[in-house]
């Protein structure tokens, strides 16, 4: 039993908040507007009218179970969600974090399509602190989330700047009007594809720094897992590599691995490149991060339409690019390399912040740690 510090109350969750089922909104009835529409997986569109007032806390009723979302503006929760209709005087942001700690899977029905019954959730026995403690806990966790959000926005901006610099310098130049010391080359002339393979079934148990498609989509940061938990072959990568997903290239996934350990691997759904001249690695990373290269990837897919189209790696080596003079390359990289370095620093800091937040969250919500003892 946790010894709570401060005034904590025990009771059924329904005594602290009231959950309500969301509202149906067929695609054909949606109108242009700025009101976010929440499904069980988060914001999935916008509409002209809101059905719930901010602040809002939303979770999945059917579909994606266990995700919790916060709405800072009026919103429309779909009928696949539950949302907090009444906070009963509790802090909305605290409730958002608190609901993240619930084991939502235990509230699902045993039907063919598992769903959450709000009446079952309402009966869950919980313990919540007084409103001032709630606000202090929410403020502490929000500070971490805001820093993570800021770092992410900075990285997005830095990547856009680097893309814009590359485009302005090398994609607006006519191939017929190049300076005498510039030339047109194929990607295969300046880079190679690395297929060095790692078979987890034939190797001793080690901790891998795994660059997977889901890891990119979730946080653009590798996951760390034991090799015995991985069942398929991977590519071995190092800090000189840069890579792009060959799977569904309409969703661009371009990555410069951080290689925080000596055991970095990536999914074989990535095409792993290495510059023949390592001094131009950042330039070539900018090449594959360009919209032109993305368009090339999309025009060279194989497979049926849908979720399983792939670009053949060897086809990408025929992509033509402008290779400028050594002086121009050096000047370009002097601009973008610090941007890529800062993006790496921010990504690593975000991972540390997320680990700290996720460690504090259950301890603050249970009263195991007094929020006044947390120094950020």
Q: What is the pLDDT of residues 170-213, one digit of tens each?
A: 999 999 999 999 999 999 999 999 999 999 988 888 999 999 99
How far is residue 353's CA from residue 357's CA, in Å, rounded to a whole number? Answer: 6
The pLDDT assigned to 182 comes to 96
Asked whether the predicted pLDDT for residue 3 surpasses 50, the reply is: no
**CATH 3.90.220.20 intervals, the chain:** 9-128, 155-329
- CA–CA separation, 368 and 289 (whole Å): 46
CATH number belonging to domain 9-128: 3.90.220.20
* Gap between the Cα atoms of 257 and 281, Å rounded: 12
Q: What is the pTM of this model?
A: 0.88
pLDDT digits (tens, 9 = 90+) for 327-339: 999 999 999 999 9
Q: Which residue has the higher pLDDT, 80 or 114?
A: 80
Find the DSSP H helices in 208-289: 213-219, 281-288
Give the whole-angstrom CA distance, residue 138 versus residue 72. Answer: 14
CA distance 245 to 310: 9
Mean pLDDT of the chain: 94
The Cα 244–Cα 294 span in angstroms is: 9
Region 155-329: CATH code: 3.90.220.20
pLDDT at residue 110 tops 90: no
3-state secondary structure of 304: coil
Mean pLDDT of 366-375: 88
Could you give phi then psi for residue 261, rounded to 5 degrees? -130, 180
Q: Is the pLDDT of residue 324 over 70?
A: yes
User: Taken in order 282, 288, 292, 294, is the CA torsion positive or negative?
Assistant: negative
Check pLDDT > 80 for residue 305.
no
Q: Is the pLDDT of residue 286 over 80?
A: yes
Best CA proximity match to 82, nearest among 174, 182, 13, 179 = 13
8 A C-beta contact, residue 94 and residue 55: no
Question: Residue 303 has what pLDDT?
Answer: 81
- Residue 310: burial class (beta carbons within 10 Å; 0-12, 13-18, 19+): middle
pLDDT score, position 275? 98
Q: What is the pLDDT of residues 112-163, one digit of tens each?
A: 667 898 999 999 999 999 999 999 999 999 999 999 999 999 999 999 999 9
Q: What is the pLDDT of residue 114?
A: 75
Q: Which residues contact 341 (CB under 8 A, 6 or more apart)?
A: none
Q: What pLDDT is attached to residue 202?
A: 86
Q: Which residues contact 83 (CB under 8 A, 6 or more apart)?
A: 19, 20, 22, 38, 52, 56, 57, 58, 59, 77
User: Tens digits of per-residue pLDDT, 234-257?
Assistant: 999 999 999 999 999 999 999 999
Token pair of 193 as six digits: 């594809």
The pLDDT, as a whole number, for residue 376 is 77
Give the pLDDT of residue 2. Answer: 47
Given this model, what pLDDT does residue 5 score? 52
Average pLDDT over residues 301-318: 87
**Burial class of residue 27, CB neighbours in 10 A (0-12, 13-18, 19+):** exposed
Structural element, H or E, at residue 245: strand 241-245
CA-to-CA distance for 277 and 240, rounded, in angstroms?
10
The first and second tokens of residue 273, run together, are: 């490149």
In this prediction, residues 105-115 reach a mean pLDDT of 76
């Amino acid at each position: 039993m946790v010894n709570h510090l401060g005034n904590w109350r025990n009771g059924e969750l329904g005594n602290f908040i009231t959950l309500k089922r969301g509202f149906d909104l067929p695609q054909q009835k949606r109108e242009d507007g700025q009101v976010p529409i929440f499904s069980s997986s988060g914001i999935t569109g916008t509409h002209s009218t809101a059905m719930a007032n901010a602040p809002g806390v939303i979770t999945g009723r059917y579909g994606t179970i266990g995700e919790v979302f916060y709405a800072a503006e009026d919103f429309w929760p779909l009928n696949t969600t539950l949302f907090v209709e009444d906070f009963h005087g509790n802090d909305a942001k605290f409730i958002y974090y608190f609901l993240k700690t619930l084991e939502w899977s235990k509230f699902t029905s045993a039907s063919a399509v598992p769903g959450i019954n709000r009446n079952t959730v309402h009966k869950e026995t919980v313990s919540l602190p007084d409103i001032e403690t709630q606000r202090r806990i929410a403020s502490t966790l929000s500070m971490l989330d805001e820093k993570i959000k800021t770092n992410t926005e900075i990285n997005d901006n830095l990547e856009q700047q680097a893309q814009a610099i590359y485009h302005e310098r090398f994609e607006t130049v006519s191939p017929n009007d190049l300076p005498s010391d510039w030339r047109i080359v194929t990607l295969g002339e300046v880079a190679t594809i690395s297929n060095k393979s790692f078979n987890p079934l034939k190797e001793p148990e080690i901790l891998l720094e795994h660059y997977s498609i889901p890891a990119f989509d979730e946080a653009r940061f590798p996951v760390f897992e034991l090799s015995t938990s991985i069942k398929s072959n991977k590519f071995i990568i190092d800090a000189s590599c840069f890579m792009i997903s060959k799977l569904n290239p309409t969703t661009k996934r371009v990555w410069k691995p951080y290689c925080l350990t000596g055991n970095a691997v990536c999914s074989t759904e990535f095409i792993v490149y290495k510059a023949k001249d390592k001094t131009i690695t950042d330039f070539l990373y900018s090449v594959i991060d360009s919209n032109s290269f993305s368009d090339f990837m999309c025009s060279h897919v194989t497979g049926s339409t849908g979720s399983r189209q792939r670009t053949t790696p060897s086809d990408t080596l025929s992509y033509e690019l402008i290779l400028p003079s050594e002086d121009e390359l050096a000047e370009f990289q002097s601009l973008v390399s610090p941007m890529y370095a800062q993006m790496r620093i921010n990504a690593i800091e975000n991972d540390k912040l997320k680990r700290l937040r996720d460690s504090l969250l259950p301890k603050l919500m249970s009263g195991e740690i007094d929020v006044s003892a947390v120094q950020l």
